[in-house]
Amino acid sequence: MNAIQRGVWVAPGRVNIIGEHTDYNDGYALPIALPHVVSCTARATSDGTVTVSSRQHPGELISEPVAGLADSTVAGWVRYPLGVVYEFSRRGRSIGGVELMLDGAVPVGAGLSSSAAVVCAVAVALRDLFAGAVTDAELIDIGRAAENSYVGAATGTLDQSASVLCTAGHALFLDFGKGEHAQVPFDLAAAGLALLVADTNTPHHHAGGGYADRRRECEEAAAALGVRSLREITDIAAVEQIPAPAPRKRARHIVSENARVLEVVDMLRRGRDPREIGPILTTGHASLRDDFEISTPQLDAAVEAALEAGAHGARMVGGGFGGSIIALVDADRTAATVRAIENRFRAADFAEPRTFVAIPSAGAHRVA
């Protein structure tokens, strides 16, 4: 056990500027961390149990023996923090016992990685309490394994990478094929811009079948092209060789999305006006809607309303089948864009959307 016995740690949600579903295809992505965080108040104990509570689930107090986590049948939200404890133990990191109290401000089901914020907040707490030598790369893998194996959500590592590695004022360029990352300046305020997030209030669920189906179809597409991953394909015309329609469409999105990420990163690094990335974002939405087929009427309506209100670009974000959109807007048009989206939703009898401006924020860290 480390010298630290207790503390408070936070990990942020994320929103992706561009690069959806590319992580498990060894491609590229460009997320930012949100100011919205999950906090984990943690205390090391020596009783051999992990006890978990949450302000979002009052009255629920779950206690499980650390040694029995592999066989635990407890279900629901608590599997996320328990999965992190299990992964630390499975990898030989001794945890004598721990109390975890969670408090989440990342909207759940909005495509903003609330689950990754949970696992990363717990992971940085456990690292500092029990295993200080754990690297960021291992923390990210622990978070991924907790979601994939313990919860059963077929995510890649984009969300955990953003939650751990992002820095304030920057977007995070992720190269999943090489396992590399770099910070890219992303100061929209200096250009008189804002990145508006509109949560359509139609929750999505990663543990459902749609996400796993898309992942499988991408693997089928890579196999049909004789490559290990779709990252190896850079000529969009090559995907037309894939005989099956669904894998062909999924590959078309991945190959074109990787190109979009690289184009946006290049533009930002060269100091171009960020407004110029707007049309690339909008093209990305069309690809997710038509080729990856994961948009919804609410997401499409929010994108269309934002563009009609003068947004420079807009697209859905996250795993799809619900969640949020982003819109790149002139800062003085933010309120007008929000009204346009709200009016469109009201006219369509959709649930009321929730909106906020995304500010590039810091990754997971200890705060007390």
**5 contacts 129 by C-beta, under 8 angstroms:** yes
Burial 76-101 (b: 16+ CB within 10 A, else e): ebbbbbbbbbbbbbeeebebebbbbb
Tell me which residue of 16, 204, 239, 38 sits closest to 110, measured CA to CA.
204
- Residue found by looking up tokens 């992720």 in the block: 174
**94 contacts 88 by C-beta, under 8 angstroms:** no
318, burial (CB in 10 Å: exposed 0-12, middle 13-18, buried 19+): buried
Q: Give the DSSP letter of residue 318.
A: S
Calpha distance 199→59 (Å, rounded) = 28
- Single-letter amino acid, residue 336: A
User: Which residues form the catalytic set?
Assistant: 159
Q: Give the DSSP letter of residue 230.
A: G
**254 contacts 274 by C-beta, under 8 angstroms:** no
Using alpha carbons, list the distances in angstroms from residue 12 to 54, 84, 117, 191, 314: 17, 16, 5, 25, 22
Question: What residues form DSSP beta bridges with 38?
Answer: 11, 104
**338 contacts 306 by C-beta, under 8 angstroms:** no
Calpha distance 339→328 (Å, rounded) = 15
